Amino acid sequence: MKGYMLIAGKKVYTQEEIKIFFPYDGSLVGTIPRGKEEDVNLAVESAKVGFEKIKKMTAYERYQCLQRAARIISKRANEFAQLLTLEVGKTIKESMGEVGRAVNTITLSAEEAKRILGEEVPFDAAPGIKNKVGFYRRVPLGIIGCITPFNFPLNLTCHKVAPALAAGNSVIIKPSENTSLVVIKLAEVLIEAGFPPEAVNVVTGYGEEAGDALVRSKDVRMITFTGSVETGKIIMSRGGLKKYAMELGSNAGVYIDEDQDCRLKEIAEKVARGGFALAGQVCISVQRVFVHEKLFDTFIEEITAFSKTLKVGDPRKDDTDMGPVIDENAADRIMEWIEEAKSLGAEIVCGGKRISNTLIEPTVVINVPEKAKLFKKEVFGPVIIVNKVSSIEEGINQVNNSPYGLQAGIFTNNLKNAFKFSEEVECGGIMVNEIPTFRVDQMPYGGVKESGIGREGPHFAIEEMTEIKTICFDLT
């Protein structure tokens, strides 16, 4: 499959190309152009024209376009899902799930296009002010640069692009070089649905080239990015005076309270699914589990037993539970971290072996020291660590013992403990009696500390992607 950039609705090719490989067996999926600064500049000029066109569309017209886009993707769900599996390596079941979520995200954004509200400002509430009335409105920013990740290239791109278009902005999308083909198809659908071609642009290539040029452009009013903390910091240092929404790293923690003995098997299965979905390559994958010491041994038995039932292999097969990680380099790093933890005294109770260049067994590691990378960093692979704690207080401290703060979970029947956990854990989202991997697309989603800035979810993204204009009338 030969990919291309989309600039002002035209297919743009370059002599230099980047190859995209199927993570499972390394076979060639397709190629994309290696976009450079000059391509970004062309896209910026296109997006300027696109912004002038889209901001003149009514809210209802933008709503209609997004609704049409959702219907088109729904009808072509199998096509999108198959391409997702080839590019990302996620199982076909996971890919179909992502397509469904993308349709939902676009539909939610369509509805929000009709609800971008302002408010009256009571000017006469200030002393000595009479005969002045007014209000504020939310208006679009202009050009929004959307830098999207490899793990959910369809739905997470929708989370950036659909709210931006709903609010009347134009966009330039720089997808991951590993998973650009499905993003190109999404952009084509949005144009087919009725958005001005100049308002939806895709520039493919490497982050340090095309991505950097997009970030540095003075005409781009906002960068919305999902990726690593290190890249997020570089973006903010190079982008200058513009708005940012950053969804960065996580090593999500779960605390299992002492009163959960009756449902430990159910919890263990939830935790395992939350840690091994998409081979652990989800920003809110369960990575660190802290179990009350009274339940520790039984929990390890349950999670080990369930993890061993998971079928690892070809993600194109319907019965596969877990596919590969994105590439061999990622697998190398994950295995190094497992070996480091083992050398520091941790114990592997399940998995821990490499099946192929990119396939790693679902792995459970216990008694992991705090200084191990598996504890303090984001593994982004099929590895769950489980440590015992003696109290809710220790559980909270251990969950907070992280540079990240995206989402966390607690399993308890104790209302006071649930409230204490939700109050004291430093995260953007707290899941009570649920794993931190839980997300619905309409909720405010984002983190604190090094997990990011701003919130996603169509309603909340639109707030990030608009600015307030205050209007005052003197009536004297």
What residue spans of 125-171 are helical by DSSP H? 155-166
Q: Report whether 82 contacts 234 (CB < 8 A).
A: no
Q: With H, G, I as helix, E, B as strand and everything else as coil, classify residue 218.
A: coil
**Kind and range of the H or E run holding 307:** helix 296-307
Quick one: which of 395, 429, 368, 383 has its CA closest to 295? 395
Could you tell me the two tokens for 20?
């995209």
Sign of CA dihedral 50, 54, 55, 56: positive
Q: In sequence order, what are the beta bridge partners of 347?
A: 366
Q: Report whether 402 contacts 247 (CB < 8 A).
A: no
For the chain, give the number of residues: 476
**What b/e string do you get for 338-360 counting C-beta neighbours within 10 Å, with b at 16 or more?**
bebbbebebebbbbbeeeebbbb
- Backbone phi and psi for residue 50, each to the nearest 5 degrees, phi listed first: -60, -40
Active site residue 283: yes
Sheet with 119-121, strands from edge to edge, namely 119-121, 132-140, 466-474
Beta-carbon contacts of 436 under 8 Å, excluding residues fewer than 6 positions away, are 252, 253, 254, 274, 284, 286, 406, 407, 408, 409, 427, 429
DSSP 36-77: -HHHHHHHHHHHHHHHHHHTTS-HHHHHHHHHHHHHHHHHTH
Residue in 158, 283, 350, 427 annotated catalytic = 283
Instruction: Report d(CA 149, CA 225) in Å as an integer.
Output: 8
> What is the CA 425 to chain-centroid distance, rounded?
21
Quick one: which of 463, 468, 462, 418 has its CA closest to 162? 462
Active site residue 208: no
Instruction: Report d(CA 360, CA 380) in Å as an integer.
Output: 12
Residue in 247, 378, 456, 464 annotated catalytic = 247
The CA-based dihedral angle spanning residues 41, 43, 45, 47, taken in that order and rounded to the nearest 10 degrees? -140
Catalytic residues: 247, 283
